[in-house]
Structure 1
């Protein structure tokens, strides 16, 4: 069985008490069931960039060429192995909205180069297959990890979603420094509001410095869920190619932290460009708030909430980058002391001070852009609060109008009730007139002569007393019931206000 297939258990530096080999093998397993772990390529086509004493090169290697490269005894000053998996989603070729393309180009999130259309789906591909695929075979990747004795803890960064900072130093039997390793991952992200998508690029950087040969291996991986971070990806690759081909790079690669520095500036500028759209969006929405009811109705609360969520993610990533820079400065200090043997600051070379100056600049830039993002987030929060207050005010005004309308209706009903009660006694009297208490004129019937007089019973006063009494009782009962109802309503309102 090939030795690389047993990685990491086959490493001479493997320590069962400290290294979790089983977890490492699970991370690097052959199969892939989700977008978090890319598929391996059937054939390797990996970009390798090298620089050795003023001479640089950059080209793609297949499996056979990688075997020859790893078997060579001579190691260049700097070797960068760049992994570029395909994105899970290919969106650029599907965007046909000119406004969306203009926003992406204006904010410099994509380049104006013609993008290739997405590959059509293979007919026999299963629906649950993972489209994202590495440009290296599993066997070739394990050979690289074994050849350079890469720490097992870095495996979850190479094929996974880890962003934890890690480091390891190895010494020989005499106690001299043999290798110096550190690894981490940072994300550059932007939220494209018009698409409702995130343009997120993860940069994994695994660096191993060999103290004996004074050579550095950097294993890089640029991975994004979709192809929206096109410009940043191209910019990073172009910077690497220009760096290894520059003759003066020979003096810079003596410091293994140089490749880390190269990734911070494009990442920071990406955050700066990405912050333009949320800022412009909030400015437009703030203007709509004061533009009348028609403009107010056009505000999309759902997108505002998504924008706020994205800004919160930006703050998290920027805070993490600040933490990475702080950890790199600690490791840089350790490298100068343990590897270079220069514990005293005045003894150190100019490159150390230049690196520290760059770290200072990056920290200040990230801190500034983070405060800018926090300001935009606060504006979104204030806007959402204002929208809530205005909505409550509109609802209150609407409720007031409905209350006034109900009061008018209630007054009308009260008037009708009063009129009805006033006529009720008379109606009652008219009914009584049909009784025998009062007899009116009558016509003759047969032998009985008729009469034209109005005969009133001697007990007519009973009708008058009853009519007046019933009227007073009816009006009094209505008045008392009305007062009782009013007191009940006032009591309920007071109880609600007290709560």
Structure 2
């Protein structure tokens, strides 16, 4: 068992509550089977009475199968669901409701829970405890220690605000469902889900599932005395292109935050999951005011805000996400401006009529195009993350206004009401800041498009100039060819005549008289035949090429068949 490390948070001594119960490891209760024709519960868990239906004979039918005419129709209707059987495991009391049943079936939450690789054999989490008498930050807590804290704080009815925050580490695990393993044990996870009626959809976030959907905020009862809100923040730390097929280490671990608040017991539970290699936990401790290995650290006001305003840690984590987005936007800006400077320098050199090195310039422009393409991808991802962050902030503000503001504002405790209003203002600031981040990324994307268009136009103009230069040179070459043609027309007839008459087919006798010899006929026959052959070869050159390809293709097929036959005989 790991030693308990306590860091004092306030000047007052902290008196832990006596444990009222031990860590329960009861047998897992089976889930009720999902029968779509027998569902009689609403999304809030309230039971509905069976609707009466009258028959023609005056009898009333209260059977849940009243919507089908026969047993055969019922069997066909049930077979249309095509649901895979899941092991009977109970996580939270919300599983009795229709919403959780459907979510379990659609998202296989029980498969995640039953896979042992998704959880650590022994719990290893840091716990922030806040009570009316003070607070503690406990490191490397085990299953029994965390369960004892949960039992103590749940059993306390002193009336003061209390907070339990579990910092769960997501560690790399190739055998896990999402390649991340939570530092919670599976029995403790089941106990927490059961004790606080945690929504089953948070189980995927707990074990490192990348969540691209909306946040969930709901009241667990009709009176709104027990509320929960959880979400997953975009991964702003991932500033480069990510290919899951090529990346061996898997995706970056996301940061998910779950909150449960009971207005009856004034207890707030937080479960924060993130990678220990990233900046989530250190930044969160720094903003709260926790300094490890330092005694007598007083930040009583911060602790009261954490306990009195349940959404405070949500606001702090959202602020950390916003600071990560600042670094993300700065990275996009620096990479974009580096390429824009090269484009501007190239434009200035072109305007000054400096001598250009065409191939070198083309290579430089090609590299600029590649870098701008990567910047564009990063900006697109950032814009999508900004949109998601805005939606999360708006959903958080909506839930905070519904559950904590208005009639729910604790006016009897003026200081707590102030903390709640401050949290609301902080959430509004984060939302408005993400609007600005989205606008900046959109602006950078537009500047990238401008630079890309300039590079494209430069390359196009260079190609046009090259084509014009080639045309000019060809025109000069054509003038030379015309001169050669004219000279050929002048001298070729005379050369031909002199060649023919100087051959052995024409001779002169001693008296100077001209006469022909027996070589004239062969000369004419061979000359005409060779001329006709050359003209035919030129005229039928395409057909000859097609015929040659067909012959070689047929010969290769025959040769391959012969090799296959010889190989089969050898076998």
So what's the TM-score if we normalise by structure 1?
A: 0.69
1:64 to 2:88 alignment: no
1:11 to 2:92 alignment: yes
1:133 to 2:201 alignment: no
CA-to-aligned-CA distance 1:210-244 (integer Å, 9 cap, x gap)? 121011001111148xx4xx345421243346399
Specify every segment of 5 or more residues in structure 2 that has no aligned partner in the other structure, as ranges: 1-24, 32-88, 292-296, 350-356, 516-571
Structure 1 CA distance for aligned equivalents of residues 268 and 116 of structure 2:
31
Alignment of 1:386-425 (within 5 A): 386-425=454-493
Q: Secondary structure, in 3 states, of the residue corresponding to 1:181? A: strand
Alignment of 1:80-479 (within 5 A): 80-87=165-172, 132-159=180-207, 160-162=209-211, 163-171=213-221, 176-190=223-237, 192=239, 202-223=254-275, 227=277, 230-240=278-288, 242=290, 246-248=299-301, 249-289=303-343, 290-291=345-346, 294=360, 297-298=363-364, 299-336=367-404, 340=408, 349-431=417-499, 433=501, 442-443=509-510, 450=511
Asked if 1 retains the 8 angstrom alpha-carbon contact of 2:335 and 2:375, the reply is no
Structure 2 CA distance for aligned equivalents of residues 390 and 12 of structure 1:
66
**Structure 1 residue 208: deviation in Å?**
0.7
Structure 2 CA distance for aligned equivalents of residues 30 and 322 of structure 1:
34
CA-to-aligned-CA distance 1:350-372 (integer Å, 9 cap, x gap)? 33432332233222222222211
Asked if 2 retains the 8 angstrom alpha-carbon contact of 1:204 and 1:222, the reply is yes
**Structure 1 residue 312: deviation in Å?**
0.9
**2:122 maps to which of 37, 43, 52:** 43
Asked if 2 retains the 8 angstrom alpha-carbon contact of 1:5 and 1:139, the reply is no
**Structure 1 residue 262: deviation in Å?**
0.7
Structure 2 CA distance for aligned equivalents of residues 5 and 241 of structure 1:
42
C-alpha spacing 1:210/1:130, structure 2 compared with 1 (3 Å): closer
Q: Secondary structure, in 3 states, of the residue corresponding to 1:152? A: coil
Asked if 1 retains the 8 angstrom alpha-carbon contact of 2:92 and 2:199, the reply is no
Corresponding residue number in structure 1 for 2:75? none
CA-to-aligned-CA distance 1:47-91 (integer Å, 9 cap, x gap)? 111111151111121122223233334357111011111257xxx
Structure 1 CA distance for aligned equivalents of residues 320 and 340 of structure 2:
31
C-alpha spacing 1:321/1:137, structure 2 compared with 1 (3 Å): same
**Structure 1 residue 429: deviation in Å?**
3.4
Which has the larger displacement, 301-310 or 260-269?
301-310
Corresponding residue number in structure 2 for 1:94? none
Specify every segment of 5 or more residues in structure 1 that has no aligned partner in the other structure, as ranges: 33-38, 89-124, 444-449, 457-499
Structure 2 CA distance for aligned equivalents of residues 81 and 436 of structure 1:
114
**Structure 1 residue 24: deviation in Å?**
2.1
**Structure 1 residue 318: deviation in Å?**
1.1
Structure 1 CA distance for aligned equivalents of residues 270 and 314 of structure 2:
10
Structure 2 CA distance for aligned equivalents of residues 380 and 364 of structure 1:
25
Supply the RMSD in Å over aligned alpha carbons. Answer: 3.8
Q: Secondary structure, in 3 states, of the residue corresponding to 1:412? A: helix
CA-to-aligned-CA distance 1:353-410 (integer Å, 9 cap, x gap)? 3233223322222222221122222222222222222222222222223333333333
Which has the larger displacement, 11-20 or 208-217?
11-20
**Structure 1 residue 287: deviation in Å?**
2.1
Asked if 1 retains the 8 angstrom alpha-carbon contact of 2:215 and 2:231, the reply is yes
**Structure 1 residue 438: deviation in Å?**
10
Structure 2 CA distance for aligned equivalents of residues 455 and 40 of structure 1:
115
Asked if 1 retains the 8 angstrom alpha-carbon contact of 2:120 and 2:183, the reply is yes
- Higher relative contact order (Cα pairs below 8 Å, separated by 6+ residues): 1
Corresponding residue number in structure 1 for 2:110? 25
C-alpha spacing 1:419/1:49, structure 2 compared with 1 (3 Å): same
C-alpha spacing 1:276/1:42, structure 2 compared with 1 (3 Å): same
Which has the larger displacement, 263-272 or 212-221?
263-272
